[in-house]
Every structure is written in C-alpha cells, then in structure tokens.
Amino acid sequence: MIQRVFTVGNEELILREIAKLQPLNYNRFRWWRKFDQPKKPLPNKSPLLDKIQNGDLEFSHYWWQAKFSELELNKAYVDCDFEMQKLLEKHAVDLARRKRLWEDFERDEKDKLISLRKQFSKEFRMTEEDYENEIIEFGGSLEELYHHCTIVYGKKLHSLKQRGRPAKI
C-alpha cells in the first residue's frame, strides 16, 4: 500500500490541466501562485456571453494548482522516508502554499458564483430563484445554459442611459 499525505485522485488529469495554465514568474506579493489562467479575463462591462466564451466564469484554476501542490507534497513525503516531522520541517513553505491556494480557490469560486447569479438575473427576465432552479436542473455547459435562458426567459430590454450634457439641436 502506498502511503500518502493527501488524496490527490487522477494524477494524469491534474498534470494535463496544469499544462493548460500559463506559468508565472516569481512575485513576492503572491509567491504561492505558480500558474495563471490561459486567457486574460475580460473587463466587467463586457457582455455575459463574451465572458462565458472567454472562460472567465469557468471552474477556478486554483483548484488544479492546489491539487498539484498536494501531488508535490506526496512526492516530498516519500523523499522524507514517510516521516511527517521531516516533511513539516523541510516543506513548511509548500504546506503554506497549499493552504493559500485552497483559500484562493474558495474565494474565487464564491465570487464567480455570485457574479453568475447577478449577471444572469440582470441579462434575462428571470428572478434569482429561477436562476437557482435552472442551474440545478440544467445539465449542459454554461454557454448552453445561456442559450437555453435566452429561449425560455428572453432578454431584458436595456434602456440606454447617456451621461452628460444633451446634444444641441
């Protein structure tokens, strides 16, 4: 039986997903992050469909980084001859990295879910309760959900609000 500190799951899947991410240079203010999203997020004023197609609202990449750090810690545990005290002494930074990545993941996922709920209820003629029901029952991707809501609920009509002085006539 193989001894491990963390249960990682499918190592090949984690390595494949990590390969999709963009490596980061060292940053002393965010030292625990080694990778970033492959595409730069769009600005907040961008349409919801564009954000979905860009991947801004997809599953957080911090989860893959946290699992990758656990994979590295499992290998370090083997190198420490399966002694937990050695692992804690030699790899305290890696353990702190893992902790911070999980915190980033939880914060990022929470923010994405809140943003999705607000943007869907702002874009379509649906309440937040309708959104909750649709998100639970629907089985497709986020883009498919967007098109489904377009058909079922229809888009809201947005009035153009102009700022500043009115045009001279």
SS3 for the chain, per residue? CCCCCCCCCCHHHHHHHHHHCEECCCCCCCCCCCEECCCCCCCCCCCHHHHHHHCCCCCCCHHHHHHHHHHHHHHHHHHCCCCHHHHHHHCHHHHHHHHHHHHHHHHHHHHHHHHHHHHHHHHECCCHHHHHHHHHHCCCCHHHHHHHHHHHCCECCCCCCCCCCCCCC
Q: What is the pLDDT of residues 100-147, one digit of tens each?
A: 999 999 999 999 999 999 999 889 998 888 999 999 998 889 999 999
Q: Is residue 92 part of a domain?
A: yes
Q: Is residue 6 part of a domain?
A: no
Q: Is residue 127 part of a domain?
A: yes
- Asked whether the predicted pLDDT for residue 78 surpasses 80, the reply is yes
Q: Is residue 29 part of a domain?
A: yes
Q: Is residue 146 part of a domain?
A: yes
Averaged confidence pLDDT in the chain? 88
Total domains in the fold of the chain: 1
Q: Is residue 5 part of a domain?
A: no
Q: Is residue 2 part of a domain?
A: no
Q: What is the pLDDT of residues 25-54, one digit of tens each?
A: 998 999 999 999 888 999 988 999 999 999
- pLDDT at residue 2, rounded to an integer: 58
Structural domain span for residue 132: 11-152
Q: Is residue 4 part of a domain?
A: no
